[in-house]
Amino acid sequence: MKFKKIINLCLVASMLLGALSGCSKKEIPTDEDNNVKEEAAELKPEEGAELSFWVLSGDAEFGKAVAGEFEAKYGVKVEVQEAGFDVVNKMMLDGPSGNGADVFVAPHDLFTTAKDSGVVAELSSNASKIVKDQVSEVAVKTVTDDGKIYGVPVSVETYALLYNKDLVKGEPATTMEQIKEEALKYNDPSANKFWYLTVPTDGFPAYPYLSLNGFELFGPDGKDGDNPGFNTEEFKKGLENIAKLKEFIPIKADDLKMETMTLLEQNFKDGKTAYYPIGPWLIKSLKAENVNFGVTKLPTLDGKQMKSLSGVQSAYVSSYSKYPQAAELLATFLSSDEAAQLLYEKSYKITAKNDISNVKGLKEDKDLSVFTEQFKNSVPMPSTKRISYYWTIMQSVLNPVFDGKMTPEEGAKKAQSDFEALVTSENQHEFCSCYT
């Protein structure tokens, strides 16, 4: 997800009450006494609570189904609205005025922005325990800062390797070396036949090649916004991997962009591409169109396992909610078996739960289950506010490196130089003191 400029919330600080003022964080109590937090206290909604629940685009059916289950179980009415991927900016604008959601779902790469802006509440001890017990450890890390948990991971996604069973006979390849060898025999650009296709010009699909030799974007935990890692030998070697892809993907970089992904997907559906790495969102349409495909984990390259970036969509409790206990109850309900079942049935998405055995159909789903396993070996997208710089810089570096118009050494230097220029150009006056 693309990072949006932080809005200066100091302008609305005067509108906040008590513990919500400025950039302070609030932990939601589980007892009616706001000053008491008992570990064993049961999460209970406030009397007369009504909630607004914002979901991401395309998840309205899931959201309404969850709302129905929640209302039936707890007697709390929930209004559902699609808010899109700009949800954090919407909350920063609408939250202080009382027009925001009580619970909202957002991509995890916006976590730092949301937390630092003060629009999300720290979860109570009891809710945090529920999250730790029920949610994948990799996913929990994406909503954790300084040991405190601020959200409930709901769904996860990452890349795995699709293969066309009409072209790939027998077991799918496990190494990029094998794929390259087969590609050199099969490729026929004049007929749009390519054994392997990907988008090496975008930072997300390119990451398995960039990270292969140890490159860590914004540090081991993805939170070091001052050090993207471009000035390292590991990143230069990653760019070398990108350059080598041209040997068996004989296509110009301009024809391998995110804007052309639908064409690449169609090529796979038409049976002209044997291997195509992509996320689980394509599976539903492949099945609907009766494509004879399979899913396997990402291959190795030079004996090293490739790792994709991954995304986590999490539910957050608004700091401005009139009913924080009910809101926290709804957020944690999204990690339940009931919600996970609805997520699979209504949105065909993968739950962030660490145990999917009670999610009917998901464990037996031979396609989505591969993504579930691949997620365990993925790298969550960094949530630093400067993640947007990575997407922008990669577009200007990966294209010429892939086309051979720029050496990996030159690409690494340009990436670092561009990053430093973007940092220098930041308008510090847009940030209030509590965000620096």
Same domain, 49 and 122: yes
As a whole number of angstroms, the distance between CA 264 and CA 241 comes to 21
In a domain, residue 99? The reply is yes
Same domain, 74 and 88: yes
In a domain, residue 375? The reply is no
In a domain, residue 2? The reply is no
Same domain, 403 and 421: yes
Please name the residue that has the structure tokens 């109850």: 329
Using a 10 angstrom Cβ sphere, with 0-12 exposed, 13-18 middle and 19 or more buried, the burial of residue 369 is middle
Same domain, 266 and 315: no
Tell me, what's the pLDDT at 18?
Answer: 35
Could you tell me the CA-to-CA distances from 340 to 269, 284, 394 in Å, in that order?
A: 29, 18, 35
Residues 203, 390: contact at Cβ < 8 Å? yes
Same domain, 122 and 153: yes
pLDDT > 70 in the chain, percent:
88
Tell me, what's the pLDDT at 84?
Answer: 82
Q: What is the CATH number of the domain that holds 86?
A: 3.40.190.10
Element (H, E) at 48: none
> Tokens standing for 292?
């004879």
> Tokens standing for 34?
């706001």
Same domain, 392 and 254: yes
As a whole number of angstroms, the distance between CA 71 and CA 76 comes to 5
What is the domain count for the chain?
A: 2
Residues 357-398 have pLDDT tens digits of 999 999 899 999 999 999 988 999 998 989 999 999 999 999
Phi and psi, residue 195, nearest 5°: -65, -35
Please name the residue that has the structure tokens 């309900």: 333
In a domain, residue 131? The reply is yes
Could you tell me the CA-to-CA distances from 164 to 57, 101, 305 in Å, in that order?
A: 30, 43, 22
In a domain, residue 371? The reply is no
In a domain, residue 210? The reply is yes
pLDDT > 90 in the chain, percent:
82
Please name the residue that has the structure tokens 């003022």: 21
Q: Residues 6 or more apart from 144 whose CB is under 8 A from it?
A: 150
Residues 77-103 have pLDDT tens digits of 999 999 988 899 999 999 999 999 999
Q: Alpha carbon 8 to chain centroid distance?
A: 25
Residues 189, 249: contact at Cβ < 8 Å? no
Residues 216-229 have pLDDT tens digits of 999 998 989 999 99
Buried-exposed string 161-199: b where 16+ CB fall within 10 A, e elsewhere: bbbbeebbeeebbeebeebbebbeebbeeeeebbbbbbb
Tell me, what's the pLDDT at 427?
Answer: 59
Please name the residue that has the structure tokens 């430093």: 420
Phi and psi, residue 40, nearest 5°: -90, -5
Same domain, 333 and 393: no
pLDDT band at 436 (very low <50, low <70, confident <90, very high): very low
Q: Range of 320's domain?
A: 13-157+311-365
As a whole number of angstroms, the distance between CA 90 and CA 103 comes to 13
Please name the residue that has the structure tokens 């296509």: 251
Tell me, what's the pLDDT at 430?
Answer: 52
Same domain, 151 and 168: no
From 132, 307, 295, select the one nearest 205 (Cα to Cα). Answer: 307
Q: What is the mean pLDDT of the chain?
A: 89
Same domain, 286 and 185: yes
Could you tell me the CA-to-CA distances from 156 to 229, 247, 271, 351, 371 in Å, in that order?
A: 25, 33, 28, 6, 9
| DSSP assignment letter at 239 | H
3-state secondary structure of 39: coil
| pTM of the predicted model as reported, rounded to 2 decimal places | 0.84
In a domain, residue 197? The reply is yes
Q: What is the DSSP string of 54-89?
A: EE-TT-HHHHHHHHHHHHHHH--EEEEEE--TTHHH
Tell me, what's the pLDDT at 95?
Answer: 93
Phi and psi, residue 330, nearest 5°: -65, -45
In a domain, residue 67? The reply is yes
Q: Residues 6 or more apart from 436 whose CB is under 8 A from it?
A: 428
Residues 402, 243: contact at Cβ < 8 Å? yes
Same domain, 132 and 187: no
Residues 154, 359: contact at Cβ < 8 Å? no
Residues 301, 241: contact at Cβ < 8 Å? yes
As a whole number of angstroms, the distance between CA 324 and CA 17 comes to 14
Same domain, 68 and 39: yes
Residue where a domain terminates, one of 365, 394, 410? 365
- Pairing type for strands 77-82 and 50-55 reads parallel
Residues 110-167 have pLDDT tens digits of 999 999 999 999 999 999 999 999 999 999 999 999 999 999 999 999 999 999 999 9
Q: What is the average pLDDT across 256-275?
A: 93
As a whole number of angstroms, the distance between CA 17 and CA 147 comes to 26
Same domain, 177 and 237: yes
